[in-house]
């Protein structure tokens, strides 16, 4: 196998936002030539799929500005500085849905777009659910819905759920639960 490694020569921050930072990097290619890469740096995120004993997934519907529509998604959110992914999963689950879970199972990492961002979304399955009061962030407006996991799998396969992290977690959680 060839060495495809690209080496960063310099990095210039173009934009620093609340959620993302955009950099323009000069790099050396494997053939010795130089090129440019634009990279979005992200602090990371979590996505957690709570599933009831009856096989219903607890989902959220929220407006997504870039697409000007309401999306059906698994509860998710970014990591706070220094926050462990498991702690963030529990926090986001409680904030967005009011759910507490007796058991949270790691399902791996999801890289949403490897070409231009270093964002990693840590995926979790939550079981043994207790339903309390949701307490979303002040700039977060969402509805909670319980939907049979089997229906969500069909919706993913038939193209009715466009969000990548949600597609991934639904299929991974369904496969994990089927294997038990």
The verdict on whether 138 is a catalytic residue reads yes
Please report the pLDDT score of residue 116 as a whole number.
Answer: 95
Please report the pLDDT score of residue 3 as a whole number.
Answer: 86
pTM score above 0.85: yes
Please report the pLDDT score of residue 139 as a whole number.
Answer: 85
Largest CA distance in the chain: 58
Alpha helices, DSSP H only, in 30-163?
Answer: 85-97, 149-157
Phi-psi region of 19 (alpha: psi -120 to 50; beta: other; left: phi over 0): alpha
Both tokens of 60, joined, read 């959220």
Q: 3-class SS at 108?
A: strand
Both tokens of 34, joined, read 């130089």
The answer to whether 17 touches 40, Cβ cutoff 8 Å, is: no
Please report the pLDDT score of residue 2 as a whole number.
Answer: 73
Please report the pLDDT score of residue 138 as a whole number.
Answer: 86
Please report the pLDDT score of residue 132 as a whole number.
Answer: 94
CA 13, CA 19: separation in Å to the nearest integer? 14
Q: Which of 54, 96, 138, 180 is catalytic?
A: 138
Q: 3-class SS at 80?
A: coil
Please report the pLDDT score of residue 46 as a whole number.
Answer: 98
Question: Chunked in runs of 10, what are the mean pLDDT values of the chain (180 residues)?
Answer: 88 94 96 96 97 98 96 97 97 96 98 96 98 88 96 98 98 96
């Amino acid at each position: 196998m060839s060495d495809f490694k690209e080496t960063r020569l310099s990095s210039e921050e173009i934009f620093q936002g609340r959620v993302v930072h955009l950099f323009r990097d000069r790099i050396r290619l494997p053939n010795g030539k130089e090129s440019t890469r634009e990279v979005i740096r992200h602090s990371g995120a979590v996505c957690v799929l709570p599933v009831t004993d009856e096989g219903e997934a607890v989902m959220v519907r929220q407006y997504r500005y870039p697409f000007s529509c309401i999306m059906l998604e698994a509860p998710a959110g970014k990591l706070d500085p220094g926050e462990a992914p498991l702690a963030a999963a529990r926090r986001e689950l409680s904030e967005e849905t009011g759910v507490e879970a007796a058991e949270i199972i790691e399902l791996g990492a999801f890289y949403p777009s490897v070409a231009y961002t270093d964002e990693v979304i840590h995926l979790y399955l939550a079981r043994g659910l207790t339903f309390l009061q949701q307490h979303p962030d002040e700039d977060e407006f969402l509805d909670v819905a319980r939907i049979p996991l089997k229906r969500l799998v069909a919706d993913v396969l038939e193209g009715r759920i466009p969000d990548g992290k949600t597609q991934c977690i639904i299929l991974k959680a369904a496969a994990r639960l089927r294997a038990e």
